[in-house]
Each structure stands twice: as structure tokens, then as C-alpha cells.
Amino acid sequence: MTSCPLPRSRYEKILLGHGSGGKLSADLLQRIILPAFENPTLNGLEDQAILKLPVSKGRLAFTTDSFVVKPIFFPGGDIGKLAVHGTINDLAVGGAKPLFLSAAFILEEGFAIDDLDRIVKSMSLACKEAHVELVTGDTKVVDRGKGDQIFITTSGVGWVPETCSLSIANAQPGDHVLVSGTVGDHGIAILSVREGTLFETPLQSDTAPLTSLAQLILEVCPETRCMRDPTRGGVASTLNELAIASNVGVKIQEAAVPLKNEVKAACEMLGLDPLYVANEGKLIAVVPSRDSEKVLAAMRNSPLGAQSMKIGEIVEDHPKRVTIQSRMGAERIVTLLTGEQLPRIC
Amino acid sequence: MTSCPLPRSRYEKILLGHGSGGKLSADLLQRIILPAFENPTLNGLEDQAILKLPVSKGRLAFTTDSFVVKPIFFPGGDIGKLAVHGTINDLAVGGAKPLFLSAAFILEEGFAIDDLDRIVKSMSLACKEAHVELVTGDTKVVDRGKGDQIFITTSGVGWVPETCSLSIANAQPGDHVLVSGTVGDHGIAILSVREGTLFETPLQSDTAPLTSLAQLILEVCPETRCMRDPTRGGVASTLNELAIASNVGVKIQEAAVPLKNEVKAACEMLGLDPLYVANEGKLIAVVPSRDSEKVLAAMRNSPLGAQSMKIGEIVEDHPKRVTIQSRMGAERIVTLLTGEQLPRIC
């Protein structure tokens, strides 16, 4: 896509006045935000979006996330694309069809309007690809040195069929743990930009919308216990939350965890455990063992799940704990990290 | 309400690890956030809230706002209370019954956990008073000097009856413009803290939930054209947006605009026009002239509307423009401000 050049204006940087609710706010909205998302609900400029839901039966899914990733542009994406995918994925892994998004921007005085334009265009494209509409939003400006370029908070609503009841409290001993592809790509992609190029070809973030993959899993296996996208904190944190909520043990096979060579190399070089590194286009599904092969086959046929693997099982032993068995056969506990491995990863 | 003292912990300040998705994140959630809001949906700790809507007929209202007010504690409220009321009010003035809120926190490394605790307790109280549930959220931490203590983004969903169709594009010549009380209280309350005490008794912010008042207006006058809460940018900006969207003129009588003496004095002292100063617990309603008296009487009987006034009329003259007639009879145009009168007012 070649994006057309932004019409030149008097303002090339964000001013405090762009957050005033006055003429500059209106200008920013008319010139940058509305043209990107162009839909009748947003164009109405009401204080709230009023939305017709597609069917009356079912339940509402509602989620929110703030995005403070640094740098704001990185291989494979940017803060805007991430903010759209992150919120869509939190709906999708709950079994919901994502429908509508909101976006609230906190801009730092002096932020380049061209960068904002690039980010909202990227968000718009991500929305179109995922068949969701961005229907309401807000823009605030903070004084220079009191923010960091741009923070974006997206919220999303979706619709869940009445029959669907996924929960991290549902896992049962014997269930299989599946992951939809290579682990740690997003975190290492961000880190490689921060640390200077670690690789000859830059590793791309895996940021992607998981709706189709999640829906596919539910079609093939309506008894799926739960799905999660292992973002911040990685696979290790997600599995720990699951073990605690379901009061079960989780046993992972190290050899089964799919890893890109670059991620493996970077983790070895930097002393990181890839299980804790963030993903933005992967999901973990816990399914009854009888359905595991069928679900894996379906996932592998899907573009975003080609490298899906069964990485472990739910066990009765060591409830509330996650263990990993190394290639050499040794077993160790995978705890929740106390500190922060990679700040501002999403 | 006497709040019980926070159990002492190893951490008195926010660390980067509190945003990691690991042990510290879980600790913050369990110790500060969940106890404040205590409801089964939030306690489920899923990535999304799954919600049953009360009735199947109607439409969904959806809104979002970021709050970056400075200082974070001020007479009459704090950033948390404001974040709850602000989003509830954006739903309420659209004719919706607010149901569920989300909250996303962006915390600066080093922020006092006691202050966070005070803010979430205040949010919780505001939710209870307004009969909404905070059902989902997120917490991110940015490095010291890259944020400013705390930013909060709230989103809200509500339910609008099928028959309700308010819009700022609905105003018609002859309609009356009503305001629910004194103008500029919130902005001047914030300013008075920033500038040092301007008054002997501190002026309080008017932050309040407008749901009951909005519902009352719609009961008394189902033909209400639109309602708005004149927050950032004040009454002047709201009326300008309305004039543009409805392609009408708006004519205000200066003598009719209710003003507290302190606000009048502060505005005169600082050279501010109270029409541009933010309100956080007031609404503007545009109603057909035949219903105006009846609506005003009902508003005045409501605790939040005791000082309601008719401040002007919709006119055919000067479409897309707002004018004000001074006490001396002179008429001037009330434009949208270009710059920022009071940055970070909400």
C-alpha cells in the first residue's frame, strides 16, 4: 500500500492545544483520525457510539489494554497495529467474535503528526483485515517530558455464543496443551531493535489477529477448555495463571516448544528464557486429549497455525505449578517471574 | 467511609516489574486492584469480561476516555473518580443506562502504591454509587520520567432503548438550550490547586454521575434532541459542535448562565471566559420549546440539577455559529478556542 502524503498544515508536531477540545482538537480529528477510520458511527462525533448488535442471543465480551511499547515502530508492526491486535485477541481467545473497538490516545507535546498519521493508518488497516470497526475514541495531550511520544489504550466489544464457556479455571488432568506456533518472536523482535541489530535479517514481530484461528479451534472442538494469548510474561506466565486458576499441574516438554533459530540464538546470547518472552500472534489452547490430534491438524492447516505443536499436558501432580522437562530429561519448575525481563514490550 | 490501612508490603512504590505480567503484577492485582472492585467477573481474571445484557432489545452504547488530570487529587475528587464519572456521563448523555466499565492504568515507575490504593478505592465507590461494575482492566508501567504518576483510561458499555435517538445533529430552530447548573466549577477547582489557593474555602470540582438526571430528562421529554456533558472545552465548545453538526445557530444569554461567585471572581482575576472552562457533573440538554418549562422544573427537583437554567435558544440565523448576548445587550461570537486554556484539566 502506498500511503498518500499528508496534506501540509501549519502544525507538524503535537501541541498542547491538540488536546484542548477546541479548534486544534477538531483539526486533528478531521485531518488525521477520521479519514483513517472513516465509518458513519465514528464520523457522527457523538460522545459515545451507539451500536446494533448482530443477534440478540449470546453474551457480550468486553476487554481493554494499554500499549506503551518502545520503540513505537518495529519490524513487523507498530504500536497502533499492536493495540488493535492485542485487544482483538483478548476477545477472540474468549470465544468472542470481535465487533467494535475504541482507541484512546495519550500524546506527548512535540510528537510528530506524521508519525501519528502513520500509526492511525496502520490501525485502520489492522481493523479492516480483522473485520472490526473502530467506533469511538479520545485524544489527550500531556506536556513534553510527561509522556513518551504516544500511548494507546484500546478497548473492544465482541459477541459470544450462548453455548461457549471457556475459562482458565476449566483445565482438567489429562488435557493437552497446544501452542499455535513459534514462541518469543515479538519480544525478541522488540529487543533486537533496542539493542541494535542482533540479526542480519531483522526478526519480525508475530503481531496478528487470532480470530479465525480461535474460531476454527472452537468449531473443531467445542469442548475446548480455554484459550489464551501468551503476550506479556510469555507462555510461562499464561500457564502459571492457568495452573493456579484450575488448581492443576502443567507439564511442558522443552523439545516440543517451537522456536525460531534467531529467537533461540538471541535468548542464549542474552540469557533469556524464551518461555517468558512476549508473543502477539500466538495462542495456547487446552483441549481434551481425545480431540488433541484433530485440533492440531486443523490449526496446522490455518495460515497462523502452521507450526502448531502439542507442548505439554495437564497433570494431577504438583497443582498450581508448571514444570518443564529438558531435552536431557531433567524436570524443573517454571515460576512466575518476580521482576521485569523486558519492560515496555507491549 | 474510613478506609482500613493498607497491609504493609515490601513495595511502597511502583516498580517496572509491576507491569511485567509476572509475580509483581499478580501481587498488585491481588493486593490493591481486586479488593477494591470485588466482583465475580473481574475476579475471574480472564483476558476479557463475558457479560449478560439485561434485555435483548435495544442497542449498545460504547465510549472511552483517557484521564491525565494534574494534580491527581483535587478538591471534590481525584483522577479515579473523574475517570469513572467521565465515562459514565458520556454513556448517560447518549440516553444509555451505563452497565460496565473497564479501566487501564499507565503507572510511572516510582508512583506511591498508597496513592494508587486511594485512587482505586475512590473509583470503586464511584462505581457503586452509579450502579456500574468495573469488570475488566489492565496495568502497564513506564520508566521514571516517561509518564506522570498515573494516567487512567476508562471505557464503558451501556444499553440504549430502541426508541431513543439523541444526536448533536438533531437541534432545530426554536429549541431551548438548558444547562443543569453552575458552569466552570471543575476547571477552576483544578486551577485553584495549581495556582495556590485562590479562595478561602476551596472550590470543589463538580464531578458527579449524570445518569439519573439524564434519564429523568428523557422521561419528561422523550423528544429531547440531544444531551452533552460540557467537559474539556466547556459549554462554548459543546455548543459549537452542536451548531456545526445540526447546521443551526445557537444564541446564549450571558445573564442566564449560572456561575458560582468564586468561579466568576477567578475568571475575572485570570482573564478566563467561564464558557470555556471544563465541567464534570453538568449536562446541556436541547429540548423543543413546548417542553422546556416542564423539563426545567423536573431538573430543578433533581439533586444534581437544582440550579438548572435555560441559557439560550437554537436559531436559524448564523448557522454553525454560537453567539452570546451580554448583560448590556451587545452580541458577540463565541468561537472554538484554538489554543489550550487549561492543559490537563481531565
pLDDT digits (tens, 9 = 90+) for A120-162: 999 999 999 999 999 999 999 999 999 999 999 999 999 999 8
* pLDDT-above-90 percentage for chain A: 79
How many CB pairs below 8 A link A and B? 275
Query: Which residues in chain A have Cβ-Cβ distances shorter than 8 Å to B341?
Result: 20
Query: Which residues in chain A have Cβ-Cβ distances shorter than 8 Å to B62?
Result: 48-49, 51, 100, 102, 135-136, 155, 157
- Ramachandran bin of B233, using left for φ above 0, alpha for ψ from -120 to 50, beta for the remaining angles: left
- Ramachandran bin of B234, using left for φ above 0, alpha for ψ from -120 to 50, beta for the remaining angles: left
Average pLDDT, chain A: 92
Per-residue pLDDT at A20: 85
The more confident residue out of A52 and B319 is: B319
Structure confidence by residue, pLDDT tens digits, B62-111: 999 999 999 999 999 999 999 999 999 999 999 999 999 999 999 999 99
* pLDDT-above-70 percentage for chain A: 95
Per-residue pLDDT at B198: 64
Hey, what domains does chain B have and what are their CATH numbers? Answer: 16-42+58-160 (3.30.1330.10), 176-334 (3.90.650.10)
**Closest approach of B2 to chain A, Cα-based (Å):** 31
In this predicted structure, the answer to whether residue A4 has a pLDDT above a threshold of 50 is: no
* B8 burial level (CB within 10 Å; 0-12, 13-18, 19+): exposed
The more confident residue out of A52 and B18 is: B18
Which of A138, A231, A247 to mutate to test binding with chain B, by most B CBs within 10 Å of its CB? A138
ipTM for the complex shown = 0.94
Instruction: Find the closest chain A residue to B148 by CA distance.
Output: A146
In this predicted structure, the answer to whether residue A61 has a pLDDT above a threshold of 70 is: yes
In this predicted structure, the answer to whether residue A2 has a pLDDT above a threshold of 70 is: no
Nearest CB to A147; choose among B15, B53, B147 = B147
Q: Going from the first residue of chain B to its last (346 residues), give the mean pLDDT of each consecutive group of 10, the final group possibly shorter.
A: 45 89 89 90 86 82 97 97 98 96 97 96 97 95 97 96 91 98 96 78 92 98 97 95 96 97 92 95 98 98 97 97 95 87 87
CB count in 10 Å sphere of residue B269: 10
- Give the span between the Cα atoms of A183 and A284, in whole angstroms: 11
Per-residue pLDDT at A320: 97
Over range A46-65, report the average pLDDT. 87
Q: Identify the residue whose cell numbers are 476449566.
A: A170
Nearest CB to B17; choose among A65, A66, A338 = A338
Per-residue pLDDT at B7: 43
Structure confidence by residue, pLDDT tens digits, A74-88: 999 999 999 999 999
The more confident residue out of A342 and B303 is: B303
- Record: contact B61-A44, CB cut-off 8 A: no
In this predicted structure, the answer to whether residue A10 has a pLDDT above a threshold of 60 is: yes
Query: Which residues in chain B have Cβ-Cβ distances shorter than 8 Å to A84?
Result: none
Q: Identify the residue whose cell numbers are 470497526.
A: A133
Half-sphere exposure of A341 (CA within 13 A, CB side): 27
**B150 phi, psi to nearest 5 deg:** -155, 130
- Record: contact A102-B67, CB cut-off 8 A: no
**Closest approach of A292 to chain B, Cα-based (Å):** 23
Torsion angle, alpha carbons of A210, A37, B137, A79, to 10: 70
Instruction: Find the closest chain B residue to A346 by CA distance.
Output: B140
- Record: contact B143-A344, CB cut-off 8 A: yes
- Give the span between the Cα atoms of A229 and A235, in whole angstroms: 8
Nearest CB to B153; choose among A90, A104, A228 = A104
